[in-house]
Amino acid sequence: MTRPLVLVGFSGGVDSSVAAALLKEQGYRVRAVMLDLWRESESCQSDPENCPAAAAARVADQLGIEFELRDWKDEFRRRIVDEFTAAYARGLTPNPCVSCNPEIKFAALLELAEEYGASYVASGHYVRRLLGNEVELHRGEAKKDQTYFLWKLQRQSLPRILFPLGELTKNEVRQRAAELGLASASRSESQNVCFIPGSLREFLAPRLESRPGPLVDLETGEIIGEHAGAAFYTVGQRKGLGLWKSHLERYVVEVRPQSNEVVVGPRWAVMHGGLEAGELNLLTEDLQGGLEAVVRYRARPVKARVVEIDETAGRLRLHFAEPQFAVTPGQSVALYRGTRLLGGAVIERALPTQR
């Protein structure tokens, strides 16, 4: 009997390396696939021995699994980088990883799975995959849980996606890598968006037509400072506003790219009682009963109530049990019941709370 083939999204880092090793130990045939999303090929041409793809290939060789690098740069640039830049131009604060995981990484792996006749695809995300009446995604290790980035996965694809690290902590993964003698065991993790090596402003400035403009006080309508370019600011921001009246405590309340205004106000103005969202995607039909909302990565879950939902239009309106700080258009709201990820949506508008 032929063992099932699994395609593993592979970077050569400690997480994907151990994920591949565990799958191999479980009896799967494993093939490692690294997607060239940004400039992997270019870095390999300039420094072939030390580029990420070469390092990943060496780890795959240690594990005794096949490795390949696939070019996905055009799709990544169009669907992630260009959309990311365009969102900032519209005054939004996007999260590119939320879109990249389902629309690029898993989509590519599932497409390649058809090419290779693979039964499953897998990744090194810290997510628990449980089988109930349907495939359920649950939070992984508390410090590394990555379910927030996966709410856009298509429900019908879940039976074909494996998450081998779901029951492990990061320390356990590193220990396992060390036991296997993998070069990735002590490799540091990247903390930045993969296509932004420096600051966000340095990345956006040459791509957007930004210019200085007024900081407008919400309560008085008075101009109380000058911003460096509306696209560089986000709801809830307090530092680096350049207020002329330095004694004022103000936060960004709204970004208005059409008039090139940034509206600032007191803290109460960025405490929100709910939200309206679009691009709704549900991983289950069961939204009955209580649920919790997470309005940004690592934010504390808050009890929420669905006031209105239109699955056909992909729209959702939620009210929070308690006010939330800086509910930001362009960010995602992920929905949970306990540890289970129910789905999510893209925040379009924050709803005010009663003062």
How much is the pLDDT for 51?
A: 82
Distance CA 180, CA 62 (A): 9
Residue among 159, 56, 79 nearest 113 (CA): 159
For the question of whether the overall pTM of this predicted structure is more than 0.85, the answer is yes
Pull the structure tokens for residue 250: 């103000």
Each domain of the chain, given as residue ranges in start order, spans 5-186, 210-265, 270-352
How much is the pLDDT for 353?
A: 85
Question: Tell me, which fold does domain 5-186 have in CATH?
Answer: Rossmann fold (3.40.50)
Pull the structure tokens for residue 5: 């083939």
Cβ count near 239 (within 10 Å): 5
Long-range contacts of 240-245 (CB under 8 A, 24+ apart): 241/215, 242/215, 243/215
Q: Could you say which of 3.30.70, 2.30.30, 2.60.98, 2.60.40 is the CATH number of the domain covering 210-265?
A: 2.30.30
Is the domain spanning 270-352 CATH 3.40.50.300? The answer is no
Catalytic residues: 100, 194
Distance CA 207, CA 203 (A): 7
Pull the structure tokens for residue 124: 């090194």
**How many residues comprise the chain?**
355
Pull the structure tokens for residue 123: 């990744």
Q: Name the helix (H) or strand (E) containing 89.
A: helix 82-89
How much is the pLDDT for 239?
A: 92
Kindly give the parts of the chain with pLDDT less than 70.
Answer: 1, 39-50, 188, 190-191, 354-355
**pLDDT tens digits along 99-108:** 999 999 999 9
β-strand 29-36 against 5-9: which pairing, if any?
parallel
Distance CA 141, CA 110 (A): 25
**pLDDT tens digits along 8-49:** 999 989 999 999 999 999 999 999 999 999 865 555 666 666
